[in-house]
Amino acid sequence: MKRKLSPISQQKNLTAIAKMLFLAVMTVVAVVLLQWQPEPVVAQDDNGVQIATGSSWQGASFPVEDFRGYSSPFGYRISPTGQATREFHSGLDIAAPMGSFIRNWWSGKVVEVVNDDRCGVGLVVESGYWDHIYCHMLGDVNSASGQDYLIDREGGVLIRNGQYLPAGARIGRVGMSGRATGPHLHWGMRYNGEWYDPALVLRAMYGEQSQVSQN
């Protein structure tokens, strides 16, 4: 005759099952996290070779192809439209000829296709804790089936909100949409939701490259 389980051992069995379920769920979560977390710091160069490192800037790309200079730094400044008040400039302005290609700084996911009076046509890309923002681009923003797209036909660029972009990908072209007095890329960065000076990122990127080349 089969022995009936006492309520206490049933309880124990249930606890064991709950523990096993918990472990199984945590294993799945861990696997998903392990697969997902390195993604923002994994970039692909043009040969498709992975450069994976959490502390190196080697996966990063300079954001414009035809660099002409920095036209306005990050921080407080006099308003470029002549208002007497000081305003906070949340990014670095990089001057480049109209139509110069903009490159995605770091592999990541498009989390916003922007179309407003200030930024003009732009993109926000999320790479782990970083958001990188591109403004004043050429092209239009269209919506189809509930998705926003940046479309720059002449530049051969079509970017969908939610799309993953490799580092260095051409994501649009320099224009002067929104509030801009000349063609430039307004390049903004947020780390963990806080504005961050892109010049510091560039300094880190190029400081590291010169160290590498000296070795």
Residue 91 C-beta: closest distance to Zn ion, Å: 5
Q: Which amino acid is at 149?
A: Y
- Per the listing, tokens 């949409």 go with 177
Nearer to Zn ion, 93 or 131 (CB): 93
Size of the site for Zn ion (CB under 5 A): 3
Is the Cβ–Cβ distance between 106 and 94 less than 8 Å?
no
Residue partners of 171: CB distance under 8 A and separation at least 6: 102, 103, 104, 123, 125, 134, 150, 157, 159, 165
With CB under 5 A as the contact rule, the residue among 103, 132, 173, 186 that binds Zn ion is 186
CB 41 within 8 A of CB 59: yes
Residues 162-181 that bind Zn ion (CB under 5 A): none
* Whether the Cβ atoms of residue 177 and residue 102 lie closer than 8 Å to each other: no
Work out how close the CB of 182 gets to Zn ion at its nearest, in angstroms, rounded to a whole number: 11
Measured from each CB, the residue nearest to Zn ion is 186
Sketch the per residue contact string, 67 through 106, with Zn ion: x for CB under 5 A, - otherwise.
------------------------x-x-------------
Give the nearest distance from C-beta 93 to Zn ion in angstroms.
4
DSSP sequence for 40-90: GGEEE-TT--EEE-SS--TT---SBSS--EEEE-SEEEE-TT--SSEEEE-
Nearer to Zn ion among residue 71 and residue 127 (C-beta): 71
- 136 near Zn ion, judged by CB under 5 A: no
With vertex at residue 124, the alpha carbon angle to CA 123 and CA 126, rounded to the nearest 5 degrees, is 145
| Contacting range for Zn ion; rule: CB under 5 A; set: 26-34, 44-52, 137-145, 185-193 | 185-193
Q: Which is nearer to Zn ion, 71 or 104 (CB)?
A: 71
d(CA 131, CA 140): 22
Q: 100 or 163: whose CB is closer to Zn ion? A: 100
Please state the closest distance from residue 172 (CB atom) to Zn ion, in A.
16
Burial degree of 167 (CB within 10 A; 0-12, 13-18, 19+):
buried
Q: How far is the CB of 73 from Zn ion (least distance, A)?
A: 9
Binding site for Zn ion (CB under 5 A): 91, 93, 186
